[in-house]
Amino acid sequence: MSSAGQTAGTQAEIDRALVLLHAGELVAFPTETVYGLGADAANPQAVAKIFAAKGRPADHPLIVHLASAAALDRWARDIPEAARKLAAAFWPGRLTMILKRHHSVLDAVTGGQDSIGLRVPNHPLALRLLRAFAAGNHAGIAAPSANRFGHISPTCAAHVRAELGERVPLVLDGGSCAVGIESTIVDLTSGVPRVLRPGAIGAAEIANVLGTDLQLPAGISASPGVPRVSGSLIAHYAPRTPLRLVSATALRIALLAEEQAKRHCAVLARTVAAPEKISQRVIWQKAAEDAVGYAHDLYATLRNLDASGCATILVEAPPATEEWLAVADRLQRAACGSGEVDET
Q: Using the 8-state DSSP alphabet, how is residue 277 labeled? A: S
Same domain, 254 and 170: no
Which of the listed residues 177, 206, 228 is the one where a domain comes to its end?
177
Is the peptide bond between 92 and the residue preceding it cis, with omega within 30 degrees of 0? yes
Domain assignment of residue 221, yes or no:
no
Given a contact cutoff of 8 angstroms between Cβ atoms, the answer to whether 309 and 265 are in contact is no
Going by C-beta distance under 8 Å and a sequence separation of 6 or more, which residues neighbour residue 21?
27, 38, 39, 40, 46, 133, 141
Same domain, 168 and 257: no
pLDDT at 218: 74
| Total of domains in the chain | 2
Domain assignment of residue 120, yes or no:
yes
CATH of the domain at 62: 3.90.870.10
Q: Confidence class of residue 5 from pLDDT cuts 50, 70 and 90?
A: very low
Domain assignment of residue 229, yes or no:
no
**Mean pLDDT value across residues 177-190:** 96
Same domain, 146 and 289: no
Same domain, 108 and 252: no
Q: Confidence class of residue 7 from pLDDT cuts 50, 70 and 90?
A: very low
**Is 280 or 230 the better-scoring residue by pLDDT?**
280
Same domain, 138 and 27: yes
What mean pLDDT is reported for the chain?
92
pLDDT tens digits along 230-262: 777 788 889 999 999 999 999 999 999 999 999
Same domain, 22 and 163: yes
Domain range spanning residue 274? Answer: 243-337
Same domain, 160 and 247: no
Same domain, 49 and 166: yes
Same domain, 26 and 160: yes
pLDDT at 4: 44
Domain assignment of residue 289, yes or no:
yes
Does residue 221 register a pLDDT over 70? no
Given a contact cutoff of 8 angstroms between Cβ atoms, the answer to whether 72 and 96 are in contact is no
Q: Edge-to-edge strands of the sheet including 312-316? A: 243-246, 312-316, 265-269, 282-286
Same domain, 153 and 78: yes
